[in-house]
Each structure stands twice: as C-alpha cells, then as structure tokens.
A = this chain, B = another copy of it.
Amino acid sequence: MMKVHNFSAGPAILPATVMQEAAQGVLDLNHSGLSILEISHRSKDFTAIIEEAEALIRELYRIPDTYAVLFLSGGASTQFFMVPMNILANDETAAYADTGSWSSKAIKEAKAFGTIEVVASSKADNYTYIPKGYSVPEGARYLHITTNNTIFGTQYHALPETDTPLVADMSSDFLSGPIDISKFDVIYAGAQKNLGPAGVTVVILKKDLLNRTGRELPSMLNYQTHVEGASLYNTPPVFPIYVSMLTLRWIKEQGGLQAVKAHNQHKSDLLYQEIDRNPLFRGTARAEDRSQMNVTFLLHDPSREEAFLKLCKSKGISGIKGHRSVGGFRASIYNAMPVESVQVLIDAMQEFAGQS
C-alpha cells in the first residue's frame, strides 16, 4: 500500500512509534493482561501514566510548582468560557487580540463574564497577519492571544510587549517550541495537534488565580475542583491522556522543545521557500507571521486547484485542501510530520509546475 502523507489540520499526525505503542496498549497494557480501555482511572497503571504526562509537560516547558497542569475535557471551546468564568470578575476588563476564527469565538464566549476589550484585530485583512504595537488598557486582568491560527496560517513569533499577564489558546502550536512560562497566567490547548488524539485538553494555570472572582460555579467548571482532584475528580479521558503521555515521551526523546522547534523551522522553511520560488503558487499570510504549523497557500490560477489536489492524491498526500475561509491549500506540518513528507509535497508542487 502507498504511504499516506497526512497533512490534516487536526486531529492530526502523531509519531508512528506512538501509534504502535497506543495500539499495543489497547491490546495489553504493560503486560498486565488488560487493555488501557478497561482499567480504572484510579489504578496504579493509570496513576503512573497521568503523573508521567504531567511531569513531562512540566519538564519540557520548565513549569514551576506555582502553576497547576490539568488534563480536562471539552476542548479549547470549553476554555473560552472557563477562563473568564474562573479568573475575570464582573467588574474587571480583559483584553483580547482577534487573530482568527478561534479568537473570535473566545471573545464571544468571554463577554458574559466581564468587560471584554478587543485591543487589536486583523479581521479586515482576512486575518493575514498578527497585529503588533497596540496598547493594552491599564488594569486589564489579562491579554488573551491565540498563538497559532490554524485556519489562516499565522503564528506569533514573539509575544506581545506588555506587562499584562497573558492567557493563551495554544491549541495548534502547543509543544512546538520553548516558551517563557512566566509571561502566562493561563495556557490551554486541545490535544489533537502536537499532543495526542482528540478528547483531552491541557490547562496550565497559575495557582494563585483560583477562587478569586467570588463566582459560584458548577464543580466541573471550577478549576479548583480539578486542581484538588489532580485531574481525577471525575473519570478523565483515559486513552487520550495515555497517548498524550506517549507523545510527550517521544518529544523528550527528540531532544526536547529546542530540538522540535529546530525541526519545525527546517520543515516550514523548505515549504515556504518552494511557495515563494514556484511561479504557480503564493502564500496567504504575511511573511513575518507565517505559521510553522499550518502553511497556507494558493494557486495564482484557482481554476487549477482540482488538478493539483488530484496530483497530490496520486502521491499519497492527504488533508491538503484549504479551509473555506482562505481557500487554496493548507499543509499542516505538526511536530510529528517527517521532513520526507514535506519533500513529497514540494516535489508535487515542482512536478505541477512542469519543473521535475
């Protein structure tokens, strides 16, 4: 069978070794005679898994004990309201930078819990860039950013220059490189890009933010519940956490986040160079804000899109069609994407231009 090169935007490619280990865990976890799917979340085997997952995130990102690391469910979409519900009082203001569809949803959901000021937006230019040089209102509780914009192919390559604590939706570039954790009050990320399969959401938050608004919350929506329960207040998504732990081990084996970052830089450089060089194609995002995760590009002649998709398909290239908001193509090249697959795409672009 032809090898499939999976450029899907998410759920997305995971390391091949992780897939094999995950399948083995479904059949027989640690030679226990039991499947990862049928063991108690309070068993020794699973306790070891979730503790290792947390320890690896702390080690990779150098997260101090003043932060909690939680494994929740409900996706980033649930964090859109859980963050302000938990840390923004009714009479406080939070600043939001609007850099795409997901930012917009975060803004919409936050409005029920305080004053939300959209301090910057690239919406008028179809989100082709990351706004910079704006100011954040004095006293703003936090500035919310979406560090990578999956649909529009943009990414923050430097954090906003502000003393306001940051809250970041890192769903689509979580664990793609090192960060300075001290700048953040909260980081949240759905797993289904660089971390694991869909079904678990990581939340990293400063512990001193707990219980500060006086709001009465359902237990499951209160971060305090999950900090006290060490993410085991209720039955957590056991298998997604298991696979995430396996991927975290793989990231460490790659040499950690500096090494992963260098690999991502190399892969995205190769692909953007081809986009800029090839006479048929052009990128959609401003060059300085181009994402290393999601590479969005168009044909100058859109009538040839179907032909290029057909060529891609014949090469085993999958998931390359762009989101309808941008059109054209999107190559998602997360951590686990091998450079060989990026090269297959580049070769297809060259063949399409009659150059190979």
Contact = CB atoms under 8 A, between A and B. Distances in A.
A190 B235 contact: yes
A197 interface: yes
Contacts of A190: 235
A192 B235 contact: yes
A100 interface: no
B19 A237 contact: no
A318 B34 contact: yes
Contacts of A14: 35, 37-38
Size band of the interface chain A makes with B: 35 or more
A186 to B, nearest CB: 17
A215 to B, nearest CB: 11
A275 interface: no
B218 A81 contact: yes
A4 to B, nearest CB: 4
A9 interface: yes
A238 B199 contact: yes
Contact of A39 (B11, B36, B200): B11
Contact of A197 (B37, B80, B196): B37
Contact of A218 (B6, B35, B109): B109
A11 B41 contact: yes
A236 B73 CA distance: 10
A203 to B, nearest CB: 14
A1 interface: yes
Given A19-B27, A23-B26, A4 B235 contact: no
A73 B199 contact: yes
Contacts of A23: 23-24, 26-27
A243 interface: yes
A194 to B, nearest CB: 12
Interface string A24-49: 10110001111111111101000000
A10 interface: yes
A134 interface: no
B77 A6 contact: no
Contacts of A108: 219
Interface in A277-318: 316, 318
A316 B33 CA distance: 9
A157 B85 CA distance: 41
Contacts of A109: 218-219
A109 B236 CA distance: 19
Contacts of A78: 74, 220
Given A73-B237, A198-B239, A240-B239, A11 B38 contact: yes
A270 to B, nearest CB: 22
Contacts of A3: 33
B240 A237 contact: yes
9 contacts: A11-B39, A12-B38, A19-B37, A23-B27, A34-B318, A73-B74, A74-B78, A199-B199, A199-B238
Given A14-B38, A34-B318, 4 more contacts: A11-B37, A33-B316, A73-B74, A105-B219
